[in-house]
């Protein structure tokens, strides 16, 4: 049996759209890409074999305009939609509409999305299956006095979380009973604004957690597999910025336990396609881990899994959606080497991570894997996520991967914008990161260590002189003054 799809529309933008196009081309599948008026010059706009402009306006009128996207599919004879991540990738209503229109949604069923997309509902299901959960309250009764009583039962500190949320919105850490009411009001208000749903759940706050996620892949024939783990403990504002595989926190025994729990979950919900089971690993209790949530889509950090397994996850998604059986067995999979992914953002970490906008003069070139939706001359606006690129490296061991990552960061300066590139280098060279002692509040705990080093005038003068001269002779500089500045890869005044 072969893949049945002849044409796939990618309902997304930027680097993930380009990433899906790459695999479609390798599979001989025609693809359609989308773009807006302000994205005409971005690489993804014309990356497909066909491309359609969504016009302008708010996201609801463009990338979130379900009816428009389905109409484009019908007009162009599209067989399937790949949603990428974000936007409509976990929208059960969109998945249902697509299916009713006779188009295949490359992802799980709407039922799986609904079940696992709701934090409260998913935790109830996990309780039924016997999956370890963080002690907490996940009930329907949202009376503030009851929630406060439950928090006292659990024991402070507790975490208030939006039931329908993600990305850190509608989330508050409460250290003491006297702060609960104010924190609850703030969490509910934020949840209502972000998700239209102010329901919350209460959990015990794990003080030294590591964020471990298991990549899963299931087909339509009852085969449920895992593709090992990724560690995503380095985060800012609950958003991951450094991901790696394998995790130094897992030995073979713990890895086996966690991956078995992950496949138990996919079997229990009859899952289809790619997904990620996220766990909290308790840093204070050896071997203790708890189910956090499931993402029913491809993850931003999927490249590190591809690096250590040698598998193309997008290809597997397309094959599974087409009805094919998984092309490998669980026993045949092996984790080899070490991979690190760095998310390069247009933001200023030294100014409270303030977003940066402007024109990119030079992206740079590297031998490492660089997944980006930008090229030289493109402008970055406030209309979309500030992530510029994902820089992914691979080496035989973790020390080699850290060294490769530091080297690659210097090769992609994204000149013209303020980015978190130097900040990422500071994380990679931090003693605790090198030792593998990471946890989700790493950035906050070591914020003083991660501040830029202030140079004295002599150091600044020497740095400028070194960059100006490089390997270029004085006579060459005098003949062509621009050649000196052309050599300033990674240098910014």
Query: In the predicted model, is pLDDT for residue 474 greater than 60?
Result: no
| pLDDT single digits (tens) 256-293 | 999 999 999 999 999 999 999 999 999 888 999 999 99
Residues 158 and 282 in one domain: no
86-91 average pLDDT score: 96
What is the model's pLDDT at position 472?
A: 46
| Confidence (pLDDT) at 476 | 46
Q: Residue 484 has what pLDDT?
A: 45
**158 and 263 inside one domain:** no
Residues 188 and 315 in one domain: no
Residue 159 and residue 232 share a domain: no
Single residue among 204, 235, 254 that ends a domain in this structure: 204
Interval 326-334 mean pLDDT: 97
Query: Do residue 349 and residue 215 come from a single domain?
Result: yes
Q: Is residue 427 part of a domain?
A: yes
Domain count, the chain: 4
In this predicted structure, the answer to whether residue 480 has a pLDDT above a threshold of 50 is no
Q: Is residue 62 part of a domain?
A: yes
> Does residue 327 sit within a domain?
yes
**CB under 8 Å, gap of 24 or more: what pairs does 143-146 form?**
144/181, 144/184
Note the pLDDT of residue 467: 62
Instruction: Give the whole-angstrom CA distance, residue 393 versus residue 370.
Output: 9
For residues 15-35, give the mean pLDDT.
Answer: 98
> In this structure, what CATH number is given to the domain that contains residue 63?
3.40.50.20
Residue 74 lies in a domain: yes
Q: Is residue 493 part of a domain?
A: no
**At 322, which helix (H) or strand (E)?**
none
pLDDT digits (tens, 9 = 90+) for 344-403: 999 999 999 999 999 999 999 999 999 999 999 999 999 999 999 999 999 999 999 999
pTM assigned to the model: 0.87
What is the token pair recorded at 278? 């996220």
The Cα angle at residue 446 between residues 440 and 447, in degrees rounded to 5: 105
Give the range of the structural domain holding residue 153, as residue numbers without chain letter. Answer: 135-204
CA distance 300 to 367: 20
- Burial of residue 100 (number of CB atoms within 10 Å: 0-12, 13-18, 19+): exposed
Confidence at residue 167, expressed as pLDDT on a 0 to 100 scale: 66
Domain at 338, CATH number:
3.30.470.20
How high is the pLDDT of residue 459?
Answer: 59
The per-residue pLDDT for 483 is 46
Instruction: Give which of 55, 77, 75, 74 is closest to 65, Cα–Cα.
Output: 55
The residue among 177, 204, 231 that closes a domain is 204
CB of 292 within 8 A of CB of 129?
A: no
CATH assignment at residue 184? 3.30.1490.20
Residue 300 · residue 277 · CB < 8 Å:
no
CB 241 within 8 A of CB 234: yes
On whether the CB atoms of residues 364 and 407 are closer than 8 A, the answer is: no
**Average per-residue pLDDT for the chain:** 92
User: Are 412 and 365 in the same domain?
Assistant: yes
Model confidence at 36: pLDDT above 60: yes
Cβ atoms 108, 273 nearer than 8 A: yes
The residues that are catalytic are: 297
Cα separation, 339 vs 344, whole angstroms: 16
Q: Identify whether residues 102 and 198 lie together within a single domain.
A: no
Strand bridging mode 30-35 / 7-10? parallel
Domain shared by 248 and 377, yes or no: yes
486 has pLDDT over 50: no
> Which pair of structure tokens corresponds to residue 50?
């066909």
Shared domain for 45 and 26, answered yes or no, is: yes
Residues 305 and 397 both lie in one domain? yes
Decide: helix, strand or coil at residue 389. Answer: strand
Q: Is residue 112 in some structural domain? A: no
Task: Quote the tokens at residue 6.
Answer: 């002849």
CA-CA distance, 48 to 30, in Å (whole number)?
8
Residue 197 falls inside a structural domain: yes
- Model confidence at 48, pLDDT cuts 50, 70, 90, reads very high
Please indicate, yes or no, whether residues 232 and 355 belong to a single structural domain of this protein.
yes
Structure confidence at residue 172 (pLDDT): 94
The model's pLDDT over 184-239, given as tens digits with 9 standing for 90+, comes to 999 999 999 988 899 999 999 998 999 999 999 999 999 999 999 999 999 998 89
pLDDT score for 65: 98
- Please give the share of the chain, as a percent, with pLDDT higher than 90: 85
Q: How far apart are CA 232 and CA 239, in angstroms?
A: 9
Closest CA to 213 of 91, 128, 269, 297: 297
Read off the DSSP letter of residue 41: T
Task: State pLDDT tens for residues 132-149.
Answer: 999 999 889 999 999 999
Q: Establish if 452 belongs to a structural domain.
A: no
Q: Going by DSSP bridges, is the β-strand pair 338-345/387-395 parallel, antiparallel, or unpaired?
A: antiparallel
Is 338:396 a contact under the CB 8 Å cutoff?
A: yes
The per-residue pLDDT for 470 is 53
* Same domain flag for 267 and 392: yes
- pLDDT surpassing 80 at residue 307: yes
Range scoring the smallest mean pLDDT among 2-11, 62-71, 121-130, 456-465: 456-465
Q: Report the C-alpha gap between 364 and 487 in whole angstroms.
A: 11
**Single residue among 180, 204, 228 that ends a domain in this structure:** 204
For residues 219 and 223, what is the distance between their CA atoms, to the nearest angstrom? 6
Whether 12 shows a pLDDT value over 90: the answer reads yes
Q: What is the mean pLDDT of the segment spanning 113-122?
A: 90
Dist. CA 163–CA 398, nearest whole Å? 36
What's the token pair of residue 445?
A: 């705990």
The pLDDT of residue 482: 46
- Note the pLDDT of residue 289: 97
In the prediction, which pLDDT does 238 show?
A: 85
User: If you average pLDDT over residues 238-265, what whole number do you get?
Assistant: 97
């Amino acid at each position: 049996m072969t893949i049945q799809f002849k044409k796939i529309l990618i309902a997304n933008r930027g680097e993930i759209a380009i990433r899906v196009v790459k695999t479609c081309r390798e599979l001989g599948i025609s693809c359609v890409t989308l773009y807006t008026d302000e994205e005409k010059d971005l690489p993804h706009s014309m990356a497909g074999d066909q491309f359609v402009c969504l016009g302008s306006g708010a996201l609801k009128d463009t990338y979130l305009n379900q009816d428009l996207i389905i109409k484009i599919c019908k007009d162009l004879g599209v067989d399937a939609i790949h949603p990428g991540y974000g936007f409509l990738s976990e929208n059960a209503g969109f998945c249902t509409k697509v299916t009713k229109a006779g188009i295949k949604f490359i992802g799980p069923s709407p039922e799986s999305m609904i079940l696992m997309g709701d934090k409260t509902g998913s935790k109830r299901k996990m309780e039924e299956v016997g999956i370890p959960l963080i002690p907490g309250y996940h009930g329907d009764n949202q009376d503030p006095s009851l929630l406060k009583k439950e928090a006292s039962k659990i024991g402070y500190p507790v975490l208030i979380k939006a039931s329908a949320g993600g990305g850190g919105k509608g989330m508050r850490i409460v250290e003491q009973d006297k702060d609960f009411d104010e924190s609850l009001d703030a969490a509910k208000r934020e949840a209502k604004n972000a998700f239209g749903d102010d329901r919350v759940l209460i959990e015990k706050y794990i003080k030294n957690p590591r964020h471990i996620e298991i990549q899963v892949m299931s087909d339509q024939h009852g085969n449920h597999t895992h593709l090992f783990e990724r560690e995503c403990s380095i985060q800012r504002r609950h958003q991951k910025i450094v991901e790696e595989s394998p995790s130094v926190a897992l030995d073979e025994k713990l890895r086996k336990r966690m991956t078995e729990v992950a496949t138990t979950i996919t079997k229990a919900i009859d899952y289809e396609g790619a997904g990620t089971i996220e766990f909290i690993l308790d840093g204070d209790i050896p071997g203790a881990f708890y189910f956090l949530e499931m993402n029913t889509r491809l993850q931003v950090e999927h490249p590190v899994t591809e690096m250590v397994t040698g598998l193309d996850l997008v290809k597997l998604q397309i094959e599974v959606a087409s009805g094919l059986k998984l092309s490998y067995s669980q026993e045949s999979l092996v984790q080899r080497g070490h991979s690190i992914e760095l998310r390069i953002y247009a933001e200023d970490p030294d100014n409270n991570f303030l977003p940066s906008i402007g024109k990119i003069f030079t992206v740079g070139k590297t031998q490492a894997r660089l997944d980006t939706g930008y090229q030289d001359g493109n402008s970055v606006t406030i209309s979309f996520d500030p992530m510029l690129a994902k820089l992914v490296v691979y080496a035989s061991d973790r020390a080699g991967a850290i060294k490769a990552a530091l080297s690659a960061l210097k090769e992609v300066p994204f000149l013209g914008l303020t980015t978190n590139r130097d900040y990422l280098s500071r994380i990679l060279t931090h003693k605790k990161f090198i030792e593998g002692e990471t946890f989700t509040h790493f950035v906050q705990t070591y914020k003083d260590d991660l501040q830029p080093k202030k140079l004295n005038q002599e150091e600044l003068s020497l740095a400028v002189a070194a960059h100006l001269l490089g390997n270029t002779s004085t006579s060459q500089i005098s003949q062509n003054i621009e050649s000196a500045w052309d050599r300033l890869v990674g240098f910014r005044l």
